[in-house]
């Protein structure tokens, strides 16, 4: 595993449980921030489903497109960190163990992530086609893509945490035993 210039994790957590604890805290914090943004996106999309005024609906679609673009940028940064630094450490650490591989679990997480992102992209593409002559059903259908994306990505964060947190606790326990 390559060491990162930011020094979060490498090798056996650089033999420093504090670095792993920092990475765990970062994961929790970023998931919390992303979840909060998903809650806002989902609430706005659900409002859009109920809107009766097409002009107001178009304004809401445009605002949601901007919000989803910002969310996607933050999600991309978070995902890059996970796949560059955090997950390789866990996979390398547990690959040394004589237990079944975690790779299928990470594969499922990746597919779940991709599915959520594809629904956001579907929303963004459908939002481009919204015109002043739009009907309420088109607004609702467009918003439904975003609601689905929010549900999938919230579940994704939960599944990721259910996989990662017990693993990192085990690494920290191993490190404590190793250095005691």
Taking only the tens place, the pLDDT of each residue in 78-132 is: 999 998 888 887 777 666 544 545 556 777 888 889 999 999 999 999 988 887 7
Continuous H helices in 99-135: 103-128
Q: Of 36-40, 157-161, 167-171, which one has max mean pLDDT? A: 36-40
Is the CB of residue 90 less than 8 Å from the CB of residue 167?
A: yes
For helices 136-179 and 103-128, give the axis angle rounded to 10 degrees: 150
pLDDT attached to residue 15: 52
Instruction: Calculate the alpha carbon distances from 121 to 11, 30, 95, 110, 147 in Å.
Output: 36, 21, 34, 16, 12
CA 131/CA 139 separation, integer angstroms? 10
Residue closest to 152 by CA, chosen among 108, 118, 116: 116
User: Looking at residue 87, what is its pLDDT?
Assistant: 82
The mean pLDDT of the chain is 83
Using pLDDT thresholds of 50, 70 and 90, give the confidence band for residue 180: low
Least confident of 53-67, 97-111, 134-148: 97-111
Please write the tens of the pLDDT for every residue from 23-53.
899 999 999 999 999 999 999 999 999 998 8
pLDDT for residue 46:
96
pLDDT band at 170 (very low <50, low <70, confident <90, very high): confident
User: Is 38 or 163 the better-scoring residue by pLDDT?
Assistant: 38
Per-residue pLDDT, 129: 81
Residues in the chain: 180
CB 142 within 8 A of CB 41: no
């Amino acid at each position: 595993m390559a060491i990162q210039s930011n020094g979060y994790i490498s090798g056996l957590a650089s033999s420093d449980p504090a670095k792993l604890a920092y990475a765990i805290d970062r994961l929790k914090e970023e998931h919390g921030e992303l979840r909060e943004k998903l809650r806002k996106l989902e609430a706005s999309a659900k409002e859009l489903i109920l809107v009766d005024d097409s002009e107001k609906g178009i304004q809401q679609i445009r605002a949601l497109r901007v919000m989803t673009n910002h969310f996607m940028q933050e999600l991309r940064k978070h995902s890059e960190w996970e796949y560059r630094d955090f997950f390789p450490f866990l996979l390398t650490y547990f690959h040394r163990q004589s237990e079944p591989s975690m790779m299928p679990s990470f594969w499922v997480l990746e597919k779940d992530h991709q599915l959520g992102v594809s629904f956001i992209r579907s929303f963004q593409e459908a939002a481009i086609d919204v015109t002043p002559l739009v009907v309420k059903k088109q607004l609702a259908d467009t918003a439904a893509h975003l609601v689905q994306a929010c549900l999938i990505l919230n579940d994704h964060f939960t599944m990721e945490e259910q996989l990662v947190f017990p693993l990192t606790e085990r690494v920290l326990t191993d490190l404590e035993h190793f250095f005691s």
